Amino acid sequence: MNRFDSPRLIADIGGTYARFAVETAGGRFEHMASLRCADHADFHAAVRTYLATLPPGHIHHAAIAIANPVEGDQVRMTNYHWQFSIEQMRQRLELDTLVVVNDFTALAMALPRLPAAGRRQVGGGSPRERSVVGLLGAGTGLGVSGLIPAGDGWVALGTEGGHTSFAPRDAREAAILAHAQRQFSHVSFERLVSGPGLELIHRALCERDGAAQPALAAPEITRLGLSGQDTRCAETLEAFCAMLGTAAANLAVTLGALGGIYIGGGIVPRLGDYFDRSPFRARFEDKGRFGDYVKAIPTYVVTAEHATFMGVSAILAEQLKGLEAAGGSAILQQIQRARPNLSPAETRVADYVLAHPRAALNEPIVQIAKAAEVSQPTVIRFCRTLGCEGLSDFKLRLASGLTGTIPVMHTQVTGEDSMLELGEKVLGNTAAAILQVRDHLNRETIDRAIDLLSSAQRIEFHAVGHYRVVADDAQFKFLRFGVASSSCTDPRLMILAAKVLRPGDVAVIISSSGRIDELIEVADTAKARGAAVVAITAGHSPLARKADVALVVDHIEDVATQVPMVSRILHLLVIDILAVGVAMRRGDGPVDTNGFEAPQTDAAAPDDGADPAPGDGEAAVQRVGPGITTAGPLSRLTSHSR
């Protein structure tokens, strides 16, 4: 068993207890401790209390399973008052990586890794290989999750299925529901199939029988019921197990969980053999017309002591593996590609960031400049070379790749793919590339480019090879606005056209590599003539350095072996962004939310045979994805993820 480079902090946070461990090797958990949540003011205090008990040494990576839905950066526990920001917590704990997931998502990921001794089958049925698996379990609440097979691995479902509406199956459960409805406007399965639910069921049965309602806690109800010392507590357990059987059967038919239903949580494993004799399995199979369907599905109790730790550890390992394969983040990959073309001073900044990404994320500019042995303006220049507005924009992008975010990956098309799979991969790869470009664009460069184009006397679009269609498309769009424009795609005529440019004109040069000699010469000639140069190109290229404004599109395709489909789409989308912006700045007419010029309201129609006015029934511009609005100024085209 290989040891990790450094120990990893693993935690399972419930509404009552926070359990901690240090994973020193795959599946080896040491220094386990369970702390009462009520004894600590917040999550940070509980973690610090546990870390203080460990031997000296720094922990770089941590993964937390928490009894709460996890969406975005802010975590607010449903059954307890703790709340925190994942990124702020990572910084406060001085961690390189902090992954926070729903506790039942983590437990679901542990199921394929359970040893045979880590589960106990209840009733009949046999699992179907590589089929959907369901999971639910009662503790402070009712957790619900599932596993879907995907390739060689599994995809865990993060759900809040415990909050589905409870439906009674007999008169006893109807009486329990009526009791609960007098307290709650909505009675979910979690209200009853949980620790607090045991107490509610017991009170409801006491009310039904006209008996006193002793304030018994769930552990005491369980003890008295299992021992047979109290018949009403025994009936409470019986009703609890039957309701859990209904919830499990609902999950089985909802997911089509032919791989089995697993029962976890803190309550059922403690019931031992009683659960096997309880009404659980009979109620599970009592599904009317689908009785035979659910009878074939096996049900298991998870008995492994550290199953949630196993699952959250597996999720952390996959996150770290993905980040390592991706070079840490998209912008770190961009730095690596750009490094050979940076100046010596910028190269020192790049080397420092690549070697110490966490430090670069948190240090002020003066510390970064000192560590890289450069001036502060050099740090800013380095950031802008990468297409960032400045240091803060650079740090925002760097942070998105260093806190457990899974990058969108390119999927290779193979000869074995069906036509449907091929289509899905092509569309998926294109969508991933569009999102990456969206995250790299920034408001300052877009605004500057639109300002230049809006005031231009004439615009020339220059491109060669596969990108000629982009220049032709741009010419058509801007001519539709009545802007004097032309498309120059013949290398022999480009320089001649550039030599007649004048101040106030703009040359838009489109190049994926930014290294085409003819296009670089066009940029030099245009600037010598006093014209402005806007480049749509790779951020680290010679063309980007010569341009007055560079709109960075860093998508690499091997034009020697393939037609550059995706990169052409990206360049076309950048042209569309500019077209939308120019149309709005010039006030040439409204543009609706689909990117089409709105119909004119003037009742007068053109004479028969007359040339149609611009915008009569034809598409003028296209709308480009999230972040572009046609109702106001262009919004900032960046995204932040924890």
- Enter the tokens of residue 526: 């245009």
The CA-to-CA distance between both ends of the chain, in Å, stands at 31
Q: What is the pLDDT of residue 624?
A: 32
Burial 593-620 (b: 16+ CB within 10 A, else e): eebbbeeeeeeeeeeeeeeeeebeeeeb
Strand ranges for 1-77 from DSSP E: 3-13, 17-25, 28-36, 61-66, 74-76
Backbone angles phi, psi at 126, to 5 degrees: -135, 140
Q: What is the pLDDT of residue 334?
A: 77
Residues 357 and 335: their CA atoms lie apart, in Å, by 11
Contacts by 73-76, CB closer than 8 A, 24 or more apart: 73/642, 75/100
The residue written with tokens 């329990």 in the block is 176
Please give the DSSP secondary-structure letter assigned to residue 166: P
- Enter the tokens of residue 173: 């459960």
Residues 455 and 453: their CA atoms lie apart, in Å, by 6
Q: What is the pLDDT of residue 592?
A: 44
Q: Does this model's pTM top 0.85?
A: no
Amino acid, res. 418:
S
Q: Beta strand pairing status for 3-13 and 17-25? A: antiparallel
- Enter the tokens of residue 593: 């939310």
Question: Is the four-CA dihedral 502, 506, 509, 510 of positive or negative sign?
Answer: negative
Other Cβ atoms less than 10 A from the Cβ of 344: the count is 8
Q: Give the residues of the chain that fall short of pLDDT 50.
A: 1-2, 326-328, 403-413, 559-561, 590-642
86 touches 66 (CB < 8 A): no
SS (H, E, C) 571-619: HHHHHHHHHHHHHHHHCCCCECCCCCECCCCCCCCCCCCCCCCCCCCCC
CB-facing half-sphere around the CA of 539: CA atoms within 13 A:
26
Domains in the chain and their CATH numbers?
3-114 (3.30.420.40), 118-303 (3.40.367.20), 326-400 (1.10.10.10), 425-586 (3.40.50.10490)
Residues 6+ away with beta carbon under 8 Å from 463: 470, 471, 487, 488, 489, 509, 510, 511, 519
Please give the DSSP secondary-structure letter assigned to residue 634: P
Amino acid, res. 188:
S
Residues 6+ away with beta carbon under 8 Å from 108: 133, 135, 145, 146, 147, 154, 156, 157, 311
Q: What is the pLDDT of residue 170?
A: 93
Helices (H) and strands (E) in the chain, counts: 26, 18
Residues 221 and 217: their CA atoms lie apart, in Å, by 6
User: pLDDT for 96-140, tens place per residue?
Assistant: 888 888 888 888 889 988 888 999 999 999 999 889 999 998 988
- Helix or strand (DSSP H, E) at 383: helix 376-385
CB-facing half-sphere around the CA of 304: CA atoms within 13 A:
21
Q: What is the pLDDT of residue 121?
A: 96
Q: What is the pLDDT of residue 619?
A: 31
Other Cβ atoms less than 10 A from the Cβ of 171: the count is 9
- Enter the tokens of residue 354: 């690549």
Please give the DSSP secondary-structure letter assigned to residue 390: S
- Enter the tokens of residue 68: 């709460």
Burial of 37 (0-12, 13-18, 19+ CB in 10 A): buried
149 DSSP β-pair partners: 154
Q: What is the pLDDT of residue 222?
A: 94
Burial of 350 (0-12, 13-18, 19+ CB in 10 A): buried
Strand ranges for 68-197 from DSSP E: 74-76, 83-85, 97-102, 119-122, 133-138, 142-150, 153-158
